[in-house]
Amino acid sequence: MQPQVFINFRGSELRRSFIAFLQPAMREANINVFIDELELMGTDLENLLVRIEESKVALAIFSKDYTSSVWCLDELVKIKECKDQGDLRVIPIFYKLEPSVVKYLQGSFGDNFRNLKRNHQHEPVKTQKWEEALTSITQTIGMRLPEQSDRSDKEFINSIVREVKKLLANIHIIEKPPREATNQSRGIFFVPARKLDITHSENPENWTWSSIYDGQSEADIEVATLITVYWLHITGNFHTRKLTPGTKYEVVFILNLDDTAAGWEEPVTLKLKLEHRGGSQSIQERTLSLDDYIGDGNNWVDIQVGEFEAPPKSAAAKIFFSLHQYVDTDRKDGLVVKGVAIRPTARDQVTI
């Protein structure tokens, strides 16, 4: 049976105290929980990352000594990746630590992180991912037990168990809309706008968010509408483990430009990168004028980023896709972003 809940924590600090009570409480509530001591001795981090992929919920337990562990931070990066793909729900747990301490890397928590970062200064990409994961996960609504609290660990653990049970029940109910399941059986996957990294999308002066009914998924989805920006940058990623090996896929941005859209005279740059587990990568890049698509009314436009062949499951890779235009003299508006589709090319479409 695959684990439902993965617990990310600082072992030397919490294993014989807080975790020693949390794990049995989860099991008593019939929650299939995974912690790293359940792995075979001598295994490497890769096995644990697979366990994260298999889970539905992750608890990231931040404690004072958390950032002194490379292991904890590498797990957290994987948790963020799965969360960003929509495959994992995350509950940050702030154990005798204030959320602001984690978010802003304050006190000994921050000092430990900076020491670790210095020790790994030859791996700037890795340390940047650590920092991004800490920032991202702390933006999720979590649970907190202050250092000076009237609540006991037992009471706090009981509240965690209740929240996890509610979350698992909710996932079971809404996990897959019927049409989405059909799309995935045809090999079509969708990354909605909310899962993309859109520069300035949190600022209502630049972007607004609204819900529309999507006939493809038979559900309401959120779309992002551009009010005004000069610097446009949209990125996302997807893991190939869900794809059919040997099948050729295309990656397309699904967009709309209304009749009043302006600032698109200069072309946008579209980029697709396939990054393999061993570190090798392949990159496709092209430019395209969105000016040609202005005034298509209510029709969504598919803007192809590139194509790739899905690798074997044993050599699963990650794809990164982006759309940008950095002409900061052009005020851009009128763009609506629905999301990104990853689907078999016409010649590799699956029929059912």
Q: Which residues are designated catalytic? A: 75
Burial (0-12, 13-18, 19+ Cβ within 10 Å), 219: middle
The string over 99-127, giving b where at least 16 C-beta atoms fall within 10 Å of a residue's C-beta and e elsewhere, is: eebbbebeeebeebbeebbeeeeeeeeeb
Q: Which of 37, 20, 84, 24 has the alpha carbon at shortest distance from 58?
A: 84
Distance CA(2)–CA(172), nearest Å, equals 15
Strand partners, 190: 341
Q: Are 157 and 118 in contact (CB under 8 A)?
A: no
Distance CA(189)–CA(306), nearest Å, equals 15
Which tokens belong to 326? 């950095």
Distance CA(268)–CA(292), nearest Å, equals 12
- Whose tokens are 């909310």? That residue is 194
Coil, strand or helix at 116? helix
Which tokens belong to 245? 């090996």
Coil, strand or helix at 227? coil
The strand ranges marked E within the chain are 5-8, 33-34, 57-62, 89-95, 143-145, 189-192, 197-198, 207-214, 219-226, 232-239, 248-262, 268-275, 281-288, 301-309, 318-325, 333-344
Q: Are 236 and 195 in contact (CB under 8 A)?
A: yes
